[in-house]
Chain A
């Protein structure tokens, strides 16, 4: 159980275009999903917290108009990189929080999306 699927696993796009990444919890409901970015040979940096049915909460320094997050249902959150530029090339990973256990002690990660902007 507790499987999180991210799609696509990799994408190449032209500079100036937009790219949408999906994060789905396959066998549980997640009221909260997190989006992280990882640059080569670096750690994961939290970009935003996505709450079902409400606006996402962005970390300091993350442009909310550039990284659009939608969490329309309890099993799906999307990250759209708008007007992508080469510096947006990175590995994007989502995680989903379990609910219903009363403890919320573990986040489950998707397999990540490698974005390359050319």
Chain B
């Protein structure tokens, strides 16, 4: 079975500061890794994903995540956050060939303050 641990339930940060949201996973088989963002009362939006190849993946809005197999981690980072980045962020895994059945972490609430 797979599991996902997001170590921080809440991360407060000031605008333009860097941020890292931590994610660790456990799996005995190969997985794909995802970060999703959820704004209040909305569904999920895919932020970025790791499937294979380069371990560093980037999103169009400045976020990046690095897959570290030895540490079974997929931490999300942004060098300078904006107020509009305030949201809930979910790390998730799916088993390769498992047809997109996602296992989610508990989520991290990113609160960006002016």
Which A residues fall within an 8 A CB radius of B? 6, 32, 34, 42-46, 49, 93, 95, 97-98, 103-112, 114
Contact = CB atoms under 8 A, between A and B. Distances in A.
A59 B107 CA distance: 20
Interface of B: 32, 34, 36, 41-46, 49, 51, 90, 94, 97, 99-107
Contact of A43 (B32, B49, B107): B107
Nearest to A57: B101
Contacts of B32: 105
Given A43-B107, A106-B49, A97 B41 contact: no
Nearest to B49: A106
A95 B104 contact: no
Contacts of A34: 100-102
A109 B92 CA distance: 13
A34 B100 CA distance: 9
B102 A6 contact: no
A32 B106 contact: no
Nearest to B109: A41
Given A104-B97, A112-B42, 9 more contacts: A34-B102, A43-B90, A43-B105, A43-B107, A95-B100, A105-B32, A108-B46, A112-B41, A114-B41
